[in-house]
Amino acid sequence: MDYNKLAELLFPQITRTPEDYETIYPPRDLPEGAKVTRLGPSPTGFIHLGNLYGAFVDERLAHQSGGIFYLRIEDTDDKRYVEGAVETIITSLDFFGIDFDEGATVDGSVGEYGPYHQSERGEIYQCYVKELIKKGQAYPCFLSEEEIAKIREKQEQEKQNPGIYGEYAACRDLSLEEIQSRIDAGQSYVIRLRSDGNQDPEKARTISVEDGIRGTLSMPENYQDVVILKATGIPTYHFAHVVDDHLMRTTHVIRGEEWISSLPIHVELFEKLGFEMPVFCHTAQLMKLDNGNKRKLSKRKDPELSLDYYRQEGYLPEAVREYLLTILNSNYEEWRQANPEAPADDFPFQAEKMSNSGALFDLDKLNDVSKDVLVKLPASRLCQFMKTWSAEFQPEILPLFEGHEDYIEKILDLGRSGKKPRKDLVYGKQIFEFIRYFFDDYFRIEDAYPENAAQDAKIILSKYLETYDHNDDQGQWFDKIRAIAEELGYAARPKDYKKNPDQYKGHVGDVSTVIRIAVMGRSQSPDVWEIQQILGEERTKARIQARIDA
């Protein structure tokens, strides 16, 4: 076989050589030890937590080492392409503070190693496929879908490994004349890798790869003649990422553990193309507890897998970032305790400290972390976030925030001072639900009066209204409540009631709860006196009177 003739027959339009591309995309001028990482999502319309999880690893490895982090859109699968998906990917990642140094943007591309959309790199891939053809390391395959289906059926019946290899690689040794004849006849074909691997497990070479997270991975070599270029001239993921990671000078590839089974194919492609292999870092799958059992997060079952979920719910990006770092590195929480005020980016992230046995994602833990993050933020920052979030996801409440910033900041600051600040605020939707009683249009009675004070509720409120003075300090205010309690037969202190429950109707806490429900509509809330100071005298009295009249 004259492989040069075959290469020209298949790719007459390709005139550039691999050497040309080595010149166009030279090694990067970076400090020693600097890492180059990439995120390579597919524009399928679904950007998920796994993308963000991997992006954090990419970003930390690159930026901690003085390297480069870039975005490459892997859009070679046109059947799964969704209009507007690229913009969704970019805006979603931007929302969570993922900063790329180069790559695809909403307005095009930035950087010297593009194009950063794989769909625009067709000639580059075909150049390298042509080179493999010249070396006899790839070949055209004319097997139809029907023929492949029959092969698969036979392999299933005989309990053989599926795929095209050995006796099933029917086009592996076609002559140049046969290939020419089939092309002239208009037969469709793909290009397959001519694997050197041995399909006999006893004779197969064992390959070892140093994984950046898992250490040494050992497995049998590849023996499959996998497709590297589809009939459309578009490469498969296997081939495209190998070429791109080389030419874009990627040093570390972070991807999910589901790709470990494909590693032998990628090792063979790197070897045949003569490229230095990057460090592969296979991350653990994101798991969740379901009825006490761990399972993989599911697009169908778990809305929290989608990044849209966190935006719509109104999670602060800093909170999500903080939580993911607790999953990514086992020593992050210890570091955070020792450095409570330090920016998260100061944490010395290490790929070696990542879990390789399934990273457990816990929404309750995220909420706890979010409380810790939000309690440290200035009310002005939270107010701005609520305006931005509501403008996009709950526009009907935006007028409550815009132009009323001083009022909102007082509300958001409630109970957040002192040695033990309250941690009531979690995410946008929850924050609004938590503070809704401050807005008359959203105020409603949610809880019932305490059972042992319900019969006295109107009397309690009437006496409270008679003695109410908005200028009372907190001590004076509570003394009046205590006096009302005693007058109506309630213990002035809960401990007195606990000692002699038969002597009292209840205690002062029951009386104050009646007032709390009248003013806030709830039996649980931050300090009532502080809330009344924010609501103002007129609105406080109006709410009390409304419950008396009800």
As annotated, the active-site residues are 299
Q: Residue 70's pLDDT is what?
A: 98
pLDDT > 90 in the chain, percent: 82
Q: How far apart are CA 368 and CA 423, in angstroms?
A: 9
Q: Residue 103's pLDDT is what?
A: 96
- 3-state SS class at 256: strand
Q: How far apart are CA 127 and CA 19, in angstroms?
A: 10
Cβ 374 vs Cβ 323: under 8 Å: no
- Is residue 422 over pLDDT 80? yes
Listed residue (35, 41, 32) closest to 59, CA to CA: 35
- Is residue 80 over pLDDT 80? no
**pTM (predicted TM-score):** 0.86
pLDDT tens-digit series, residues 187-235 = 999 999 999 998 887 788 999 999 999 999 999 999 999 999 999 999 9
- Is residue 86 over pLDDT 90? no
- Is residue 46 over pLDDT 80? no
Residue 328 or 46, more confident: 328
> 48 φ, ψ to 5°?
-120, 175
Listed residue (265, 293, 144, 256) closest to 207, CA to CA: 265
pLDDT tens-digit series, residues 454-476 = 999 999 999 999 999 999 999 99
- Is residue 81 over pLDDT 80? no
> 425 φ, ψ to 5°?
-100, 130
- 3-state SS class at 516: helix
Band (535; pLDDT cuts 50, 70, 90)? very high
Q: What's the burial of 328, exposed, middle or buried (CB within 10 Å: 0-12/13-18/19+)?
A: buried
Cβ 464 vs Cβ 456: under 8 Å: no
- Is residue 102 over pLDDT 80? yes
Cβ 360 vs Cβ 326: under 8 Å: no
Q: Which pair of tokens denotes residue 58?
A: 């990419």
- Give the DSSP letter string of 174-239: --HHHHHHHHHTT---EEEE-----SSTTTPPEEEEEETTTEEEEEEPP----EEE-TTSPBPHHH
pLDDT tens-digit series, residues 488-508 = 999 999 999 999 999 999 999
Q: Which residue type, as a one-letter code, is found at position 228?
A: I
Band (393; pLDDT cuts 50, 70, 90)? very high
Q: How far apart are CA 526 and CA 424, in angstroms?
A: 9
Band (297; pLDDT cuts 50, 70, 90)? confident
Q: Work out the number of other CB atoms within 10 angstroms of the CB of residue 317.
A: 17
